[in-house]
Amino acid sequence: MDFAMTAVRTALNGASYVAPRLAGGAAFRLFRKPRGRSRLRPDERPLTDRAEVGEIVVGGGKAVSYRWGTGARPVLLVHGWESRGSRFAPLVSELLDLGLSPVTFDAPGHGDATGETMTIVDLRDIIAELDARHGPFEMVVAHSLGVTATFLALREGGARQSRLVRTERLVAISGVPDFAYLVDRFCERLGLRARLNAELRGRVERELFPGEEDIWSRFSVPRTVPEAGPASVLVVHDADDDMVDPACSRALADALGDRAELVVTSGLGHRRIIGDPQVTASVRDFVVRERAARVGRAAGRPDPSPRPAAG
């Protein structure tokens, strides 16, 4: 833990003894606002410059959408917290080579979007709006909190759409299992007292989702999995992820049963995994294999090869 985080931990824990509400409010402000905007990298610019750009009004700002290809066989790419759509650039190129039409975005408070922050409901609504404009998506690729929001969109749809989001395939990379995990992990990383965890949860309930019933159950992937989801899911996680425990993806794969294939990488952590060539190749193979299987089933032929076992 660096000096700044140590100072924050000491200040918040100290304040929680004499002014727990004040300390809880400070923790809440840290929790809900990204530490900084992820900037466009030089190697991402050529691809981003070729995109068809749009916008989506959501929450406290405007999301920026990016679209490539002809529109045939659309695929949605969903980023997570403190990230941006351009981080999927290597995968976008692969998908274009396969004849698919990738769509991604920068959520409010991220990348080139306006606003200062986003919620999981904002992400859900962006997914649903892009589905209405460009879907149904043949596949959704989501990272981190984007995985949680994708399952929520599959179960609920969006605030302005009556139809549910549907997709044939899903790639879940470094997925956050539920919203409660984010709160607990935030407090754990800062070394905050249990009292502050409770104060933070209360702030989230009252200020982010007022009037909602049991958000901790609602924003939970394990609860969503039995109710919604595609027939085929590629679950990817790095063994050295220090932000989201790899056990979370193992549990997701177990919950999905025969629908899931689990790929475990090493040495990539939580963020570099998105653009890693090995992961991009795994997604490409997943697309090709599942596409061939679907065509074969339509023609009455058995699957060309069995799905790799989770592990």
- 252, two tokens: 């997701």
Q: Which residues contact 102 (CB under 8 A, 6 or more apart)?
A: 67, 68, 69, 74, 75, 76, 77, 88, 91, 92, 95, 96
- Quick one: CA dihedral 204, 207, 213, 215, positive or negative? negative
In this predicted structure, the answer to whether residue 103 has a pLDDT above a threshold of 50 is: yes
| Predicted local distance difference test score (pLDDT) of residue 302 | 59
Q: Which residue has the tokens 């916008």?
A: 55
* pLDDT exceeds 90 at position 50: yes
In this prediction, what percent of the chain has a pLDDT beyond 90?
62
C-alpha 271/C-alpha 274 separation (Å) is 6
| Burial tier of 185 (Cβ tally within 10 Å: 0-12, 13-18, 19+) | middle
H-type alpha helices, 34-144: 45-49, 89-97, 120-134
Own/partner long-range contacts of 29-34 (Cβ < 8 Å, ≥24 apart): 30/186, 31/183, 31/186, 31/200, 31/204, 32/117, 32/119, 32/204, 32/208, 33/109, 33/116, 33/117, 34/81, 34/82, 34/109, 34/110, 34/117
User: What pLDDT, on the 0 to 100 scale, is given for residue 124?
Assistant: 95
Rounded Cα gap, residues 265 and 278, in angstroms? 8
pLDDT value of position 119: 92
Q: What is the DSSP letter of 106?
A: E
Q: Which residue has the higher pLDDT, 27 or 108?
A: 108
Does residue 276 register a pLDDT over 70? yes
Residue 292: the pLDDT is: 76
pLDDT of residue 311: 43
Cβ contacts of residue 254 below 8 Å, gap of 6+?
260, 310
Do residues 104 and 79 lie in contact, with contact meaning Cβ atoms separated by under 8 Å? yes
- CB atoms near residue 3 (< 10 Å): 7
For 136-163, the pLDDT digits (tens) are 999 999 999 999 999 999 988 888 877 8
Instruction: Give the least confident one: 115-124, 165-174, 297-306.
Output: 297-306
Segments in 145-276 forming alpha helices (H)? 145-156, 179-190, 194-203, 215-218, 221-224, 246-256
Of 37-41, 161-165, 207-211, 261-265, the poorest mean pLDDT is in 161-165
Cα angle value 221/225/227 (rounded, 5°): 125
Q: Classify residue 243 by its DSSP letter.
A: S
Question: Taking a C-beta distance cutoff of 8 angstroms, is the pair 146, 90 a contact?
Answer: no
Residue positions counted in the chain: 311
**How sure is the predictor about 309, in pLDDT bands with cuts at 50, 70 and 90?**
very low
- CA-angle at 165, arms to 248 and 144, nearest 5°: 25
Q: In the prediction, which pLDDT does 130 show?
A: 97
Residue 4 has pLDDT above 60, yes or no: no
- For residue 228, count other CB atoms closer than 10 A to its CB: 16
Reported as a single tens digit per residue, the pLDDT across 212-261 is 888 998 898 877 675 666 889 999 999 999 999 999 999 999 988 898 99
CA distances from residue 140 to 32, 67, 182, 190 in whole angstroms, order as listed: 25, 14, 22, 32
| Mean of pLDDT values over 89-104 | 97
CB atoms within 10 A of CB 100: 22
Average pLDDT score, the chain: 88
Q: What is the pLDDT of residue 3?
A: 53
Write the secondary structure of 258-286 as one string of H (helix), E (strand) and C (coil).
HHEEEEEECCCCCCHHHHCHHHHHHHHHH
**Using an 8 Å Cβ cutoff, are 148 and 219 in contact?**
yes
Cα 98 from chain centroid?
Answer: 23
